Amino acid sequence: MGTSVRPLQQVKGLRFFKLLGSGQGRGFSLKPNFYRYGLMATWDSPSAAQDFFEGHPLLEEYRQHTFEQYTLTLQPLQAHGLWSGQNPFTQETHPAPAGAPIAVLTRASIRLTKAIDFWINVPKASESLDNAEGLLGSIGLGEAPLVRQATFSLWRDEASMKAYAYRQAAHREVIKRTRSQGWYSEEMFARFTPLSSEGTWNGVDPLAGLL
């Protein structure tokens, strides 16, 4: 993954991308997972994405080195904040389809002076994901260890996601501390509706039968 930046910069129709490592567990984690990596990308058109995923040699190279792949096509519903100085997803706000699965991305650049406080408090909220009703899958991702972190999660529906986000005590406390302690120099929160899925994640497709 670390050698993929230059070839990706030359991909036609690729508007924005991030190569991401991962942590162990469902959310933010200090323990890296050296087996799993992510590519987040936005495209000028569906055809540009299809050309890349079906025929680009970089994808074939990835496949030769992996025993599992999972690809999600997502339509942005809303996005607030910035990622590397820009909003790569959408400036609009669309309602989530009723009763349909929803994907959520949260990411942040953590201030060095706040990193210790962040890592003392945030793992409690990440652990609470283990018992979150309606959670189909989640993973902690990162651009850089300790200070550029993200969580990507899939939920059965918007109601399940909101029940966790706004009613779970540990998560509410983290949101409160985020504002009062000024942990982040940059942050983004985005929601998406999944359009299609391909492959497996931990041996299954968490969206099987739901799309």
Structure tokens at 179: 């504002």
Structure tokens at 63: 């496949």
pLDDT higher than threshold 80 for residue 122: no
Of 202, 25, 32, 206, whose CA–CA distance to 127 is shortest? Answer: 25
* Alpha carbon distance, N-terminus to C-terminus of the chain: 30
pLDDT higher than threshold 90 for residue 91: yes
pLDDT band at 4 (very low <50, low <70, confident <90, very high): very high
| Range with the poorest average pLDDT among 7-11, 69-73, 128-132 | 128-132
pLDDT band at 171 (very low <50, low <70, confident <90, very high): low
Output b/e per residue, 4-32; b: 16+ Cβ within 10 A.
Answer: eeeebeebebbeebbbbbbbebbbbbeee
Q: Using alpha carbons, list the distances in angstroms from residue 166 to 82, 144, 173, 177.
A: 22, 28, 10, 14
pLDDT band at 15 (very low <50, low <70, confident <90, very high): very high
Question: How many Cα atoms occupy the beta-carbon half-sphere of 17 within 13 Å?
Answer: 21
Give the distance from CA 28 to its chain's centroid. 11
pLDDT of residue 175: 66
pLDDT of residue 193: 98
pLDDT band at 130 (very low <50, low <70, confident <90, very high): confident
Strand partners, 191: 78, 104
More confidently predicted of 131 and 46: 46
pLDDT of residue 194: 98
pLDDT band at 143 (very low <50, low <70, confident <90, very high): confident
Cα–Cα dist 158/34, whole Å: 31
Contact 81, 187 (CB under 8 A): yes
Cα–Cα dist 211/101, whole Å: 8
Backbone φ, ψ for residue 207 (5° rounding) = -100, 10
Structure tokens at 130: 């283990």
Residue with tokens 């309602």: 95
Contact 186, 144 (CB under 8 A): no
- Per-residue pLDDT tens for 52-86? 999 899 999 999 999 999 999 999 999 999 999 99
pLDDT higher than threshold 80 for residue 17: yes
CATH architecture of 5-199: 2-Layer Sandwich (3.30)
State the angle between helix axes of 57-64 and 46-55 in degrees (0 to 180), rounded to the nearest 10: 50
